[in-house]
Structure 1
């Protein structure tokens, strides 16, 4: 079994559990502090992502790519130099941005987010900066070695710690006000990141074959060429992520001001934004753990193949990643669209946000393609083009949000439309860039067949929904999801969208099938 498939499977398993735990986390937050509290949390959360992006500086991808190339040549000294230079960069950035965040938090909450209650969630973010500075470097190192277990287990540990603390902290702070409860939820995330870092440091100490502290400053001083190599990938990568993070940072600001122009009160705007970004979007983004796992494994896999001039393998890996994204994303879209109201009610105790899911789900298939396409561009030294695509998408998204959300006829629906336009545009631009720079065959048949299978299983789902009208909601969710999934997989097998090699590459399943099914 290839390192790419093995790493992807590990990340898939961890990603699935992490997403489920993340959903539990959001359910706890929603039930304790309601839509308005979730709105406060989600208005501060983009700042959290922006700070993380600045601190990481695009280095996880750059480290993963360069370590994979150094490892392919057996150059341990180069690997050590990459690690030391990366640590020096991220630690320096964390020392700069931690106090900056503390100083700017009052201005951000009062003037930009237009809701002073976001101050405490913003202040709770500050301790996470140095923690993420180190953990991002270690994750990039392990991914470059194509050892996905430490990164996967650290994600699981982070979520477990976060969920363990989230209920206790939100409940403890809630008597003081919703803003304090939202800050408690953010603080739980920070402590989760700390637990993740401690685990990564422990695993690194056990597995490393060199001493990092030995001649640390000498390596930093002599690391100009390594710094340059890292920046060739890190700058465009961080540019892409920075653009996305800045756009997300400005998103609640533009939303707040646009809805104010439309005559929507601040509290109502916060509640509506919470319903969209805190209820509907997490549901739609739940299946993206699959594409994120593929993307994380794709960068070192393509980088190693490129270093060894294995161009046929590069094309195969790209096709494999896109096909997996297509078939898994297609099933997710069908289930979420058909059972949107039931899923929202079962998880959040309210159908709030269902209308956004119905509107956005059909086009969310484009979103599931975005991460693998961006990973392929980064691994093929096209990170700068990916950055430009992200910039175009971000500008268009924010513009559409402002134009539509400021109109009373659209309101918060205009925000949802802006989000759709943004991710569809970026995905199409990434795909066009990859085709232009690296010509490969597009299997149109796979896309057409998948859409037809999605439509057919979706119609089956609606028929089952009416047929099981008298069955309890939770039971109907499980029954309908199971039947749709089985029918979907059978149709994929019959149309050869899932192939023998795909099944044989999975441990346990592959051994069983090789003994019986494919004799």
Structure 2
């Protein structure tokens, strides 16, 4: 039986995301210590090309699948779901074959004209199969998300991460003797095998718990809409998402070139530029976006949830979803920004053994809450059928980011910190534009008082952590962890005292809600 609770689906994805992020950090820590920032830079140079290829292939269809399946499921239109899946599968499989062949045929062109470091070529060759695997997986992920059955997607992500870590542990350690380029390629091979494992699990789960004949056994045999209407509904969401992602993926794909050339212009050598880009793209950014494990879960659930609400003409439910997303993001994002800003140096040293990562993280961390909020806001716009608006804003943000990267990173006194500043400024401007657009459609039902209370609790947490660790520059991992736990307890107690977190809210969380509610009632002033 499918769980259709918004909160349940978000919690399932969040918990699986926490597990995969933790496992992913174990993987990154091992890999970064094995091949260093320079090797991570080679890996990072290749990945934007995979993202660009995937955008061509999927054409925004996973989001369209999620949205349309959610609408059709609530209307018990089984024939429409089957039609959406047939069309999407045909498009994605056909495009996968075409793009993979082109990537192989044009590999020489990529080597000569794309990579600033030719050592990334081997990793690129190994990466090519992953494009088709991820594209086919996206069909199943969109389908299950549309049904709001998040468990298969969650378990697939966990199994995929475990398989990747196992393969990388076995391969990268063996291939490092042949050089950094070979070790980076081995790491990419682990990613390919992990994706194959995840796809296999999704296929099995679709056969076991996702058959429409079992989910909608008494549904009419004819759809409520024509084939032309279905095609229009798919294109209405898929085309703007595709255009947005194509342009964004292209901007992301040229980012390594732009960043490294800007750093060379600032006076860095080729290996230094590759190393600094590795510190930024493969170390600081993954650490910064760790909390998106929660907001990404919200975003994945918001598209079908908002689509379902609009299909039933319940705009107020959409406003409630936005208010919930804002408060939840603030509760997670603000204290995390405090931790990343205050403990950047000991944290980055404990994880990466690289002192150059901390200054980059400190520049971006204070704006963490605004960065984390982008995913849920974008998902709501897409669920409201305003994907074109989200597309335009995303493109503007991407262009602004690259423009600022060249302007700031080429300054000798900034170098890679200029990249961090460019990313931060562009993300803040992009969120402001997203919120302005959303205000036109549903307003901004934000509880300003609760947001202010969370901000105050976070500032108090900052003071407590600072008092507990007066010298963060030479802080051991144990003392840092103790300070974070102490500050976190103060933060949680204040949120309970301010009535931002209540036992009634916690009680709604499936499975563990009762225990969390009892904890809140036990806290001073908790209710």
TM over 0.5: yes
CA-based RMSD: 2.2
Q: Secondary structure at the match of 1:466?
A: coil
Tell me the residue number matched to 2:160: 158
Is the 1:85–1:223 contact (alpha carbons within 8 Å) kept by the matching residues of 2? no
Q: Assess if the C-alpha contact under 8 Å between 1:102 and 1:126 holds in 2.
A: yes
Gaps of 5+ in 2: 214-222
Report the Cα offset of residue 312 of structure 1: 1.4
| Equivalent of residue 193 in structure 2, options 191, 196, 201 | 191
Tell me if structure 1 keeps the 8 A contact 2:343–2:472.
Answer: no
- Alignment partner, residue 336 of structure 1: 340
TM-aligned CA deviation for residue 307 of structure 1 = 0.7
Mapped pair 1:71 → 2:73: yes
Q: 1:18-74 CA distances to partner (integer Å, 9 max, x unpaired)? A: 110111111111011011101111111211222222222111111110000000011
Q: Which residue of 2 aligns with 1:473?
A: 476
Give matches, 1:315-326, under 5 Å. 315-326=319-330
- Give the Cα–Cα distance (whole angstroms) in 1 for the partners of residues 332 and 50 of structure 2: 29
| TM-score, reference length from structure 2 | 0.92
Q: Which residue of 1 aligns with 2:376?
A: 372
Determine which of 475, 491, 495 is the counterpart of 2:498: 495
Q: Post-superposition shift, 1:427?
A: 1.1
**Counterpart for residue 438 of structure 1:** 442
3-state SS of the aligned residue for 2:373?
helix
- What residue is the counterpart of 1:264 in the other structure? 268
Partner of 2:218: none
Distance 1:204 1:438, change over 3 A: same
- Structure 2 distance, partners of 1:168, 1:178, is 15
2:457 to 435, 453, 457: 453
TM-score normalised by length of structure 1: 0.94
Q: 2:175 aligns with which of 161, 173, 176?
A: 173
Most deviating of 389-398 and 306-315: 306-315
Structure 1 unmatched runs, 5+: 212-218
Give the aligned partner of residue 429 of structure 2.
425
Alignment of 1:239-388 (within 5 A): 239-388=243-392
- Matched with 1:58 is 60
1:390 to 388, 394, 399: 394
C-alpha displacement of 1:2: 6.3
Native 8 Å contact 1:259 1:406 kept in 2: yes
Q: Deviations over 1:160-206 (max 9, x none)?
A: 00001112221222222211111111111111000000000000111
The residue matched to 2:29 in structure 1 has which SS? helix
Summarize the Cα distance change of 1:22–1:223 in structure 2 as closer, same or farther, 3 Å threshold.
farther
Partner Cα distance (2:53, 2:90) in 1: 17
Quote the Cα distance in structure 1 between the aligned partners of 2:452 and 2:319. 21
CA distance in 1, matches of 2:457, 2:298: 23
Report deviation, 1:320.
0.3
Query: After superposition, what is the alpha-carbon deviation per residue over 1:390-447, rounded to whole angstroms, capped at 9, x for unaligned?
Result: 0100111000111122222322221111111221111111111000222243322233
Pair 1:332–1:246, CA change in 2 (3 A): same
Q: How far apart are the structure 1 equivalents of 2:517 and 2:439?
A: 36
Comparing 168-177 with 197-206, greater Cα deviation is found at 168-177
Alignment of 1:9-158 (within 5 A): 9-158=11-160
Q: How many residue pairs align between the two structures?
A: 510
Query: In the alignment, what sits opposite 1:405?
Result: 409
Mapping of residues 229-244 of structure 1, within 5 Å: 229-244=233-248
Larger deviation, residues 439-448 vs 46-55: 439-448
Q: Which residue of 2 aligns with 1:215?
A: none
Of residues 371-380 and 164-173 in structure 1, the stretch that sits farther from structure 2 once superposed is 164-173
TM-fit CA distance, 1:384? 0.4
